[in-house]
Amino acid sequence: MKLVQSILTKNDCYKSGRKITVKGLMLHSVGCSQPNASVFVKNWNRSGLEACVHGFIDGNTGTVYQTLPWNHRGWHAGGAANNTHIGVEMCEPACIKYT
């Protein structure tokens, strides 16, 4: 597995600096056809966003871009899951059908 450090240091979530004790992993689909993880990494490295996750997995290469330290509190799930879970998004090509 290739892991690329791409911490979103300009994202407000990163700046808020809260830490968590990790209890699990949430693996999500980004829900749109954009296989290129670096597109998300570029778009999310700014202030004014109300979302931030720990990583993106590239839909073509499988490369993992780590976008928050693993023990940083993400802005990802609704409810309390942000307090305990790492959040990672899978990027997907256009052939995926969403139902």
Which residues form the interface with Zn ion (CB under 5 A)?
Answer: 28
How far is the C-alpha of 23 from the C-alpha of 99, rounded, in Å?
A: 29
Query: Smallest distance, Å, CB 88 to Zn ion?
Result: 8
For Zn ion, give the closer residue by CB, 28 or 46.
28
Query: Smallest distance, Å, CB 99 to Zn ion?
Result: 17
Distances (CA, A) of 16 to 47, 72, 79: 11, 9, 18
For Zn ion, give the closer residue by CB, 28 or 42.
28
Query: Smallest distance, Å, CB 36 to Zn ion?
Result: 17
How far is the C-alpha of 77 from the C-alpha of 91, rounded, in Å?
A: 17
For Zn ion, give the closer residue by CB, 18 or 28.
28
Which of 82, 97, 80 shows the shortest CA–CA distance to 29?
97
